[in-house]
Amino acid sequence: MATGSFNPFQMAQQQFDQVAEKLGLDQATRDLLRNSNREIHFNIPVRMDDGSYKVFRGFRCQHNDARGPAKGGIRFHPHETIDTVRALAMWMTWKTAVVDIPLGGGKGGVVCDPHNLSMREQEQICRGWVRAVAPLVGPLQDVPAPDVMTTGQHMIWMLDEYEKITGIKAPGFITGKPLGAGGSLGRKEATGFGVIYTVREALKEMNIDITKTTAAFQGFGNVSQHALKLYTELGGTAICVSCWNHHEQKSFTYKKASGIKFDELISITDRFGEIDVNKARELGYEILPGEAWIEQEVDILVPAAIENQINAETAPKMAKSVKIIAEGANGPTTPEADEIIKSRNIWVIPDFLANAGGVTCSYFEQVQCNMNYFWSKEEVLEKLDRKMTEAYHAVSNLARSRNVYMRDAAYMIAISRVAEACKLRGWV
């Protein structure tokens, strides 16, 4: 969230400006791509279970749709801000471009805390959100998906409301839907698996055997869970997970030096990705402060929680053993931290490449819905692996051949593709 002095949109613009300079983009193209094409702010009035009314604030940003319909999740968070949504919409534009799928970037949000809302109240927020944006979204305009604290259930409520308003069946309007209601096999695993597909390729380039590596994960929501699962299945040793504890209102790091067993950890984790501290202690986990994940003697760091986690303050605490940072979260690393990482020669797999598995599989879901023919899970994950591997090597090859930082290489590919589409359309 945009808290204190940290503003994710300013960071996204700063990252863009640096690469626009390297690419020599003209001023009009810079002005077009620095800001959202359009955004909508709105109120969602809801009759609460106790009979009172409460008004929730909602947002939708469509950053750029030159390459195809806008695509991006909807976040429910008590500290949601328009600047967070703007930044994430911009990152989605680069994300869809770097993996070369025909979509643009969008993002949505509601200022609310699902922890404190009944399912009926959450349903009313979902339906109210769709009513507010219905004229600007749809399978051929803007396709939402789940994000922080939203699920397949929220998506199906939104789809139902959209179909009521339009009077048509439009399963391609929204992705991340439950199976049996237009959802795709493999979607749940997609983002986390995508992160590890890129890690696997990076380790191959470094001639490092994955079975001899260790990793620390931040966050234990959907992305981190599936990343940790695949990483350990491939033979890696995950030694710790850091995640937020709602009851204590702070985060903890759960460490097991001998290696975390995925099934064991998931059995003491709730639907919000929060691990039960007492049960973890009983199972022999060492309970450390929340920020301790970044200080561990590991080969790989996987920040898969929220923005601004590897910054000027925390980056110097990284152990000398760290070789790879794979950004499962959006915007986890600040430009100040990037300078420290560059100086230490750590190989970064940037967020909008590393975590693009989610939007890639959402695209697959959209394609399957629109043609009303669904693929097997193996087929989905095989297509995902191929897409992520191709995208990783395109960025890695550019970074090595031009001797540029991986984040800059990913930006150079993505921004060039979007700028070209804008020029071809005659926008600039």
| Pairing state between β 300-303 and 237-245 | unpaired
Q: Which residues 6+ apart lie within 8 Å of 165 measured at CB? A: 130, 131, 134
Q: Tell me how far apart the alpha carbons of residues 241 and 424 are, in angstroms, rounded to a whole number.
A: 46
Distances (CA, A) of 113 to 48, 53, 171, 189: 14, 16, 27, 25
- Both tokens of 350, joined, read 């940037």
- 177 is a catalytic site residue: no
- Both tokens of 407, joined, read 């984040």
Exposed/middle/buried for residue 212 (C-beta within 10 Å: 0-12, 13-18, 19+): exposed
Q: Tell me how far apart the alpha carbons of residues 394 and 97 are, in angstroms, rounded to a whole number.
A: 12
Active-site annotation holder among 54, 71, 95, 107: 107
Contact between 185 and 377 (Cβ < 8 Å): yes
State which amino acid sits at residue 328. G
Q: Which residues 6+ apart lie within 8 Å of 39 measured at CB? A: 59, 60, 61, 62, 82, 85, 86, 89
Instruction: List active site positions.
Output: 107
